[in-house]
Copies of this chain bind each other. A is one copy, B any other.
Amino acid sequence: MRLEIFPVEGVPEVRQGDDLAALLVAACPDLADGDVLVVTQKVVSKAEGAMRRIDPDDPRGHRSIVEEEAVRVVRRRGDLVIAETRHGFVCANAGVDLSNVDDGWAALLPEDSDRSARRIRDGIRARAGVEVAVIISDTFGRPWRRGLTDVAIGCAGIRAVVDLRGTEDSRGRELQVTEVCVVDELAGAAELVMGKAGGIAAAVVRGVDPAWLGRGEVRAEVVRAPAEDLFR
């Protein structure tokens, strides 16, 4: 297996109501069956209008929006809030983000990023006739380790977690727990070619194992049910 990863350049500034699939197909005309297209959350939120105006009369500014988006505050230190969103994601500021958006506005997470991914995938199939997998990515921190990494908040056309349990290791013994979150690894890999300042909206990962393609969902496969999570 050999992977190629390259950025999708030339996507114009995205505005509410834009047809993101059409913009991505125009910017990347050589999309091929089996490609994984990783799309950043920011452009999905903009296209879907998941934006909020920051009330200029509210002395708390965007922090009021953070409190509204949080269903549970996990940790708080000074201005930094780590919160769980209604989607079950645990991230800084409940996913509310001011970078690369117009002054006075905040970007929220898409309402349902798996659905957003399915829409983009369907739109690309309709416009370009190719079957791609789509991952919506966002930049999250994590406990115990410094530095942010991109993870998947939604996907379509690819299994989020590939279960290698029950396959044999190189000694012929059964592997015990090897459920790999391939969509998080793909989101992080795509981030490596996007950069933060360039405003690159998407990247293509070409060459992924065809066995991973198929029905998949971050919400059902990656978000931990509270009962099984050692950390809530």
> What's the Cα separation between A124 and B144 when bound, in Å?
31
Q: For A221, what are the chain B residues with a Cβ–Cβ distance below 8 Å? A: 146-147
Given contacts A100-B171, A173-B99, A188-B184, contact A193 B3 (CB under 8 A): yes
Instruction: Give the residue of B90, B103, B148, B170 whose beta carbon is less than 8 angstroms from that of A181.
Output: B148
Q: For A161, what are the chain B residues with a Cβ–Cβ distance below 8 Å? A: 146-147
Query: Do B170 and A199 touch across chains, with their CB atoms under 8 A apart?
Result: yes
A222 within 8 Å of B by Cβ? Answer: yes
Report the minimal beta-carbon distance from A114 to chain B, rounded to whole angstroms.
Answer: 14
A residues bordering B, Cβ < 8 Å?
Answer: 1-7, 75, 77, 80, 82, 88-90, 99-103, 139, 142-151, 160-161, 164, 167-171, 173, 175-182, 184-186, 188-189, 191-193, 195-199, 208-209, 221-224, 229-232
Given contacts A75-B231, A144-B229, 4 further A-B contacts (CB under 8 A): A99-B175, A100-B169, A148-B178, A169-B196
